[in-house]
A and B are shown apart, each in its own frame.
Chain A
Amino acid sequence: MWKIKKYFWFIVIAHLVLSFSFPFCGEAREDEIRIGLHGPFSGPVAFSGELMKKGFLLAVEEINKAGGIKIAGKILKIRTFVEDDRGVPAEGVAVTEKLITRDQVHAIVGPFNSSVGLAVAELSDRYKVLRLVPIAVADAITTRHPWVFRNCPNQTMQTVQNAEWVVKQGKWKKFALLLENTDYGRGAGEIWTKVVKGKGGEVLATEYFNLGDTDFTTQLTKIKGRDPQGIFLVGLITEGAQVLRQAKHLGMHQQFIGLGGFASDKFIQLAGGSAEGLINNSYWEPNPKIPKSVSFKENFEKFSKMEAEMFSAATYDAVYILKEAFEKAGASGTDTESKEALRKAMHKVDYVGVQGKTTFDEEGQATLHVHIVQVKEGKRRIIGP
């Protein structure tokens, strides 16, 4: 009995030591391109994080199957390093350090959350390792950081485009705002109000809710009392779905105009019938005018058994954008010269992917347009640009 116990502990310790040391032994080889990805793969936004990860892995699989990345006459395969940042800024910093110093990645894709993006942007400049952000929207992630690029519209672009479209319709003049009480929600509210007021619209009420709130009847009752024509709603899936449901319960018939995580089938399902008629931003929808977007939808759903939507689409495109940048740079080293060549090549990227044409401005921000979609018969349909 005693001996077994002794062996048992020996085995446990040996396992721990081995499992901790092996993944870090991955020696940096010359004949491969190492790309890191991090995002919230556990925690409250794990579902959206999973979509992001699957989009990334599908792109890598396709590129490797087709040969790899052609650099200076050689064809190199992509090797992936995937880390979970749980949506926490400190975790994001830790996994970024790990990806850069231990795994010696050539480039990093991610993150999902704006708060994480703001925390890790600094590291890209310090280590001179390229980062391409597919989802996090806060403007400041790219503006002051030459090594950080983003291939989705940033917060200002999304909010301004939404507000301008709304005003142009001329159907609504009086609005109320219902915002997530975070930098994201408050920031969007400010920009949106400025655009709408500048074009002659009226804002009758600005209300807030906290992440994790469940009862929104108080805010909705107040808004109902002001009798606006349209309600601008900013938030994520869980809160947003309950807002729409409770508004219906209160007998409200105002037009909801959304910004945030509402562009998925899961949202429509959670909101029950109450999502019908919702107008929302989406920076990716399968669009017959963009042939790649239609085939991506098919391939992604076969690959992941999940719905293809904007998070997976943007992350998928991010890998192909990096591929083009590597091929344009013609360098695959981890020395400063190769890294600088890669960064410069990003500005020359002119890639047509599932999101349409992507080019980057001098701040590393992709010039992209959002779609305005509306839920009709339980499906999103593109109704704006």
Chain B
Amino acid sequence: MIPTTELAQQVINGLVMGGVYALIALGLTLIFGILDQVNFAHGELYMIGAYATFYFTGMLGGVYFFGMIFAMLAVAFLGLLYEWLLFRPLRGRGHLPAIISSLGASIFLWNLALQVFGSIPHQMRTDISEITINLWGISITVQRLLVLIVALVLIIGLYLIIMKTRIGKAMRATAQDPEVAALLGININRIAEMTFIIGGALAAAAGALIGPIFLIYPAMGLMACLKAFVVVILGGLGNVIGAVVAGFGLGVIESLGAGFISSAYKDFFAFLVLILVLWVRPEGILGKTAKKAG
């Protein structure tokens, strides 16, 4: 007999992690869907987003919200640099060169972070990170609640940009067929820049949200990036709605699997789900609708 409060608590724990997975995976899946490229240095955007929030918050008088906005702006610019330095020079040469250049960037950035910020984790506290709300036996900190809320707001915002704006329309057109889109007057380079800016800002938001809950350290992007890849594949490559569903789904599955079966196999559940989905539906959970939504 599973007590309902424990079940509810585990689902909420899973949803919070799921929100973070979804935010990181969204940028990855956009880059894949629109530009047909794989960014192995995506976890570093998340890591630098967390450090940037830490330092900006300190500089801006301790206001966490400002720190987060500035971090998103700074990392959006870093995303733009990714496009200019890592991806544009290699565009049109297939997947492999870009994979290698982004893998190199990942190793470079987390070792740089190790030199600049040191190997000792940074701890960030905000006004809301230590306040716990208790409701019907379920405990959640305000910061964790904020993760869920901000993640949902950003996801809805992104969806509106893609579906309702001109640039969103151009992004969808590029995803369908870059050559025809270019023929119709869409500047593919602008679209690529926009995609990396959005991806960078979302990853930075994930880092900013999680910073006050966990610790901030140079290697934090590695596992996060791996999980985001699982989410992207589960949701269908390039599928935005798929990434959101898979992100939250993965968070909850991990939490329930570890909570009610065995915590020794927490990561095992994530990859088990991946293998099962690849086996039964290799195109991803929502794979069929990939191009329409992305």
Instruction: Give the most central of B16, B214, B220, B222: most A CB within 10 Å.
Output: B214
The reply to whether B266 and A238 contact each other, CB–CB distance below 8 Å, is no
Q: Is the pair A225, B6 in contact by a Cβ cutoff of 8 Å?
A: yes
Residues of A within 8 A of B139 (CB): 249-251
User: Within the complex, which residue of B141, B214, B255 is in contact with A242, where a contact is CB–CB below 8 Å?
Assistant: B214
Q: List A contacts of B13 (CB < 8 A).
A: 215, 217-218, 221
Chain B residues near A269 (CB, 8 Å)? 123
**Chain B contacts of A46 at CB under 8 A?**
119
User: How many Å lie between the Cα of A207 and that of B261 in the bound state?
Assistant: 11
**CB pair A238 B263 closer than 8 Å:** no
Q: A218-B258, A242-B215, A270-B121 are in contact. Are A210 and B132 (CB under 8 A)?
A: no
Contact B132–A215 (Cβ < 8 Å): no
B272 within 8 A of A: no
B59-87 vs A, CB cutoff 8 Å, 1 = contact: the mask equals 00000000000000000000000000000
Contact assessment for A251 and B119 in the assembled complex, using a CB-CB cutoff below 8 Å: no
Q: In the assembled complex, how far is the CB of residue A136 from the closest CB belonging to chain B, in whole angstroms?
A: 19
Contact with A along B106-125 (1 / 0, CB 8 A): 00000000000001110101
Which residue of B3, B16, B254 is within 8 Å of A225 (Cβ)? B3
Judge whether A212 and B3 touch: CB under 8 Å.
Answer: no
Known A222-B259, A241-B215, A242-B214; judge A251-B132 contact (CB<8 A): yes
Q: Which residues of A contact B219 (CB under 8 A)?
A: 44, 212
Which chain A residue has the least Cβ–Cβ distance from B218?
A44
Contact with B along A204-232 (1 / 0, CB 8 A): 00011110111101110110110000000
Please name all residues of chain A whose beta carbon is closer than 8 Å to the beta carbon of B223 when the two chains form the complex.
212, 214
> Contact size class for B?
35 or more
Question: Is A218 within 8 A of B220, CB to CB?
Answer: no
Name which of A210, A214, A270, A272 has the most chain B CB atoms within 10 A of its CB.
A214
A43 close to B (CB within 8 Å):
yes
Which residues of B have CB within 8 Å of A219?
258-259, 263
Residues 251-306 of A at the B interface (beta carbon under 8 Å): 251, 266, 269-270, 272-273
Q: A215 contacts B120, CB within 8 Å?
A: no
Output the nearest chain A residue to B2 by Cβ-Cβ distance.
A225
Q: Are A47 and B264 in contact (CB under 8 A)?
A: no
Instruction: Judge if A80 is at the interface, Cβ distance under 8 Å.
Output: no
Query: Is A338 in contact with chain B by the CB < 8 A criterion?
Result: no
Provide the bound-state CA to CA distance between A47 and B121, in Å: 11
- The contact string, 1 if C-beta is below 8 Å from chain A, for chain B 129-150, is 0101010000111001000000
Give every chain A residue within 8 A of B267 (Cβ-Cβ): 210
User: How many residues of A are in contact with the other chain, CB < 8 A?
Assistant: 34
Contact A221 B259 (CB under 8 A): yes
Q: Which residues of B contact A250 (CB under 8 A)?
A: 9, 132, 139
Nearest Cβ distance between residue A125 and chain B, in whole angstroms?
Answer: 33
**A156 interface hit (Cβ, 8 Å):** no
Answer whether residue A334 sits at the interface, using C-beta atoms and an 8 A cutoff. no
B57 adjacent to chain A (CB < 8 Å)? no
Query: A208, B264: Cβ atoms under 8 Å?
Result: yes
**A210 to B263 CA separation, bound complex (whole angstroms):** 9
Q: How many Å from the CB of A70 to the closest CB on chain B?
A: 40
Inter-chain contact A222/B263, CB cutoff 8 Å: yes
Question: Considering only CB atoms, which chain A residue lies closest to B9 in the complex?
Answer: A221
Cα-based distance from A200 to B223 in the complex (angstroms): 41
The reply to whether B214 and A218 form a contact with Cβ atoms under 8 Å apart is: no
A43 CB contact (under 8 Å) in B119, B121, B125, B222: B119
Q: How far is the CB of B3 from chain A (nearest CB, A)?
A: 6
Any B CB within 8 A of the CB of A181: yes
A interface residues with partner B (beta carbon < 8 Å): 43-47, 181, 207-210, 212-215, 217-219, 221-222, 224-225, 238, 241-242, 246, 248-251, 266, 269-270, 272-273
Q: Which 5 A-B pairs have the closest CB atoms?
A: A214-B214, A225-B6, A208-B264, A251-B139, A217-B13
B contact residues vs A (CB 8 Å cutoff)? 3, 5-6, 9-10, 13-14, 16-17, 119-121, 123, 125, 130, 132, 134, 139-141, 144, 210, 213-215, 217, 219-220, 222-223, 254-255, 258-260, 262-264, 266-267
